[in-house]
Amino acid sequence: MNMISNHLPTEELQALDAAHHMHPFTAGADLARKGARVITRAKGVTLTDSNGVDILDGMAGLWCVNIGYGRDSIAEVAARQLKELPYYNTFFQTTHVPAIALAQKLAEMAPGDLNHVFYASGGSDANDTNVRLVRHYWAAKGKPEKKVIISRRNAYHGSTMAGASLGGMQPMHAQGGLPIADIVHIGQPNWWAEGGDMSPEEFGLARARELEAKIAELGEDKVAAFIAEPIQGAGGVIIPPSTYWPEIQRICDAHEILLIADEVICGFGRTGNMFGSQTYDIRPDIMTIAKGLSSGYAPIGGSLVSDEVANTVAEAGDFNHGYTYSGHPVSCAVALENLRIIEDEKLVENVSTHTGPYLAEKWAQLADHPLVGEAKIVGFMGSLAMTPDKASRAAFAAGAGTAGLICRDHCFANQLVMRHVGDRMIIAPPLILQKSDVDTLIERAVKSLDQTHAKLKAEGLMVAA
Ligand SMILES: *Cc1c(COP(=O)(O)O)cnc(C)c1O
């Protein structure tokens, strides 16, 4: 077998990595000087690096390893599928058993009449599909002018041209001439940073009504869809006020706008229901799925599509769209086994009723830390807003991300993966997390917050902008 050894010295691996591997969302030269952390194996909720250090993975990889690491049954299913049928396409009027079985399973799991799946390799390309699909749908209904998609600032919908355009990340738009045409953005329901003197409930309504104002500005006959994550993930785990989603749903219904719920993070248990749309009572026409669909064991994503949209498109001739790996048999087999584990081990119940409430109680107590202004969590998706002044919800004068980066590095040193988005610290642990893991997570988080606070004070950085 031809493989690079896990047991080369760390420095040697880092040098090879720096010489040949371009990392996503990374300043390459900076990383080459520091050397990347090399992860060599993982089991359960724990990663091990090339120096033998164990790290609690508070982010489930990139929000995806819902069933935890080291599942033998997934490896066995994948091996069996690789031997039986490693690849065949689903173009040209062919299909195969794993694609069929997974589609049936997803239709059964999905709420409402989301009974159809279009497969992709991940979340970004699934959102590309959604852009093509909703425009094609309205054209098939005789309304080709209905093609604008409304999204939100600071949303994350992937990194392809369409995915990044749907997303509302300014640093991404700044590179490569984005967004592409006919994608526009409204505000996000981030009360902590943008709510001013309004109550969270007032602010939630105000932000939802930006959608109605945008539809009025563009004309209802020009707008195809609104896309949003039930809870914004990569934007910093922005948990919307309770008033937000009911008002968004009302507006989409009132104006004949398709609603796309990007469930790439929220889907498959993370919010304490199978889908985030169930947690917020959203009735989407399309759901984007990926990440937890296979718990990251194989790349796969997709669009779950309503009867109305799928049937309309089916009657409209060829849909000129698809990927070589749409419905990849190994990925479908892995996803099916992953869904079996989520159901059989009652992982959604672990989030909603067993470990979740315990985590929520401990997480809420972090709001008492002198550095933390807000500690919010839904299911296994939590965020801490760090601030130099709790009363005014102030940002740091030193600039966004200063405190966040310091805290992230302390977390790493304390054997905890907790990510920072600006000066928000976020977690999204594997859904198998147990109460004893929660204790470890909180202990390491508190230690890291203490060290961050001490460093900020020592360097004179506890100053409001
Ligand atoms: C990660 C993510 C995507 C993109 O998925 P990829 O598999 O990285 O292409 C899209 N939407 C949301 C909400 C995500 O978190």
| Residue 298 pLDDT > 60 | yes
pLDDT for position 142: 98
Which one of 265, 270, 288 would you pick to mutate in the ligand 1 pocket, going by the greatest count of ligand atoms within 8 A of its CB?
265
For ligand 1, the distance from its centroid to the CA atom of residue 158, given in whole angstroms, is: 5
Q: Are strands 46-49 and 39-43 parallel, antiparallel or unpaired?
A: antiparallel
Q: How confident is the model at residue 215 (pLDDT cuts 50, 70, 90)?
A: very high
Q: What average pLDDT does this structure show over 136-146? A: 98
Question: Which position has the token pair 């004309």?
Answer: 219
pLDDT in tens, 163-209: 999 999 999 999 989 999 999 999 999 999 999 999 999 999 999 99
pLDDT for position 6: 74
Closest CA to 54 of 65, 39, 69: 39
For ligand 1, the distance from its centroid to the CA atom of residue 288, given in whole angstroms, is: 9
With a 6 A CB cut-off, is 233 part of the ligand 1 pocket? yes
If DSSP states are collapsed to H, E and C, what string results for 249-305? HHHHHHCCCEEEEECCCCCCCCCCCCCHHHHCCCCCCEEEECHHHCCCCCCCEEEEE
User: What residue type is 228 in one-letter code?
Assistant: A
Name the 3-class secondary structure at 142. Answer: coil
With 0.85 as the threshold, say if the pTM is over it: yes
User: Which ligand 1 atom is at minimum distance from the Cα of 234?
Assistant: 15
Q: What average pLDDT does this structure show over 337-350? A: 98
pLDDT for position 73: 98
pLDDT in tens, 75-132: 999 999 999 999 999 999 999 999 999 999 999 999 999 999 999 999 999 999 999 9
DSSP state of 352: I
For ligand 1, the distance from its centroid to the CA atom of residue 356, given in whole angstroms, is: 24
Q: What residue owns the CA closest to ligand 1's atom 5? A: 123
pLDDT for position 274: 98
Cβ atoms of residues 51 and 426 within 8 Å: no
| Residue 1 pLDDT > 70 | no
Question: Which position has the token pair 């990510």?
Answer: 419
Could you please state the CATH topology (level 3) that the domain comprising 73-344 is classified under: Aspartate Aminotransferase; domain 2 (3.40.640)
With a 6 A CB cut-off, is 381 part of the ligand 1 pocket? no
With a 6 A CB cut-off, is 229 part of the ligand 1 pocket? yes
Q: What average pLDDT does this structure show over 216-236? A: 98
From CA 307, how far away is CA 318, in angstroms rounded?
17
With a 6 A CB cut-off, is 157 part of the ligand 1 pocket? yes
For ligand 1, the distance from its centroid to the CA atom of residue 336, given in whole angstroms, is: 20
Residues 6+ apart with CB under 8 A from 177: none
Residues 6+ apart with CB under 8 A from 245: 208, 230, 280, 281, 282
User: What residue type is 213 in one-letter code?
Assistant: A
From CA 294, how far away is CA 317, in angstroms rounded?
31
For ligand 1, the distance from its centroid to the CA atom of residue 360, given in whole angstroms, is: 25
Which one of 124, 159, 232, 275 would you pick to mutate in the ligand 1 pocket, going by the greatest count of ligand atoms within 8 A of its CB?
124
Domain boundaries, the chain: 44-67+346-458, 73-344
Question: Which position has the token pair 């709790």?
Answer: 390
Could you please state the CATH topology (level 3) that the domain comprising 44-67+346-458 is classified under: Aspartate Aminotransferase, domain 1 (3.90.1150)
With a 6 A CB cut-off, is 264 part of the ligand 1 pocket? yes
Q: How confident is the model at residue 2 (pLDDT cuts 50, 70, 90)?
A: low
pLDDT in tens, 46-68: 999 999 999 999 999 999 999 99
pLDDT for position 127: 98
From CA 388, how far away is CA 373, in angstroms rounded?
9
pLDDT in tens, 308-324: 999 999 999 999 999 99
With a 6 A CB cut-off, is 262 part of the ligand 1 pocket? yes
User: Which ligand 1 atom is at minimum distance from the Cα of 125?
Assistant: 9
pLDDT in tens, 352-390: 999 999 999 999 999 999 999 999 999 999 999 999 999
With a 6 A CB cut-off, is 68 part of the ligand 1 pocket? no
For ligand 1, the distance from its centroid to the CA atom of residue 301, given in whole angstroms, is: 9
With a 6 A CB cut-off, is 232 part of the ligand 1 pocket? no
| Residue 346 pLDDT > 70 | yes
Which one of 152, 156, 264 would you pick to mutate in the ligand 1 pocket, going by the greatest count of ligand atoms within 8 A of its CB?
264
Residue 412: what are its φ and ψ, rounded to 5°?
-55, -50
Percentage, residues of the chain above pLDDT 70: 99
- What percent of the residues of the chain are helix, what percent strand, and what percent coil, each to the nearest 5? 45, 15, 40
Residue 18: what are its φ and ψ, rounded to 5°?
-65, -35
User: Which ligand 1 atom is at minimum distance from the Cα of 301?
Assistant: 7
H or E stretch at 13: helix 10-20
For ligand 1, the distance from its centroid to the CA atom of residue 166, given in whole angstroms, is: 11
| Residue 411 pLDDT > 60 | yes
pLDDT for position 190: 98
Rounded to 10 degrees, the C-alpha dihedral 75/60/348/163 comes to: -100
With a 6 A CB cut-off, is 123 part of the ligand 1 pocket? yes
Indicate the average pLDDT of the chain: 97
Residues 6+ apart with CB under 8 A from 365: 375
Name the 3-class secondary structure at 422. Answer: coil
Closest CA to 318 of 114, 125, 132: 132
With a 6 A CB cut-off, is 289 part of the ligand 1 pocket? no
Question: Which position has the token pair 């988005």?
Answer: 421
For ligand 1, the distance from its centroid to the CA atom of residue 430, given in whole angstroms, is: 17
pLDDT for position 7: 76
With a 6 A CB cut-off, is 290 part of the ligand 1 pocket? yes
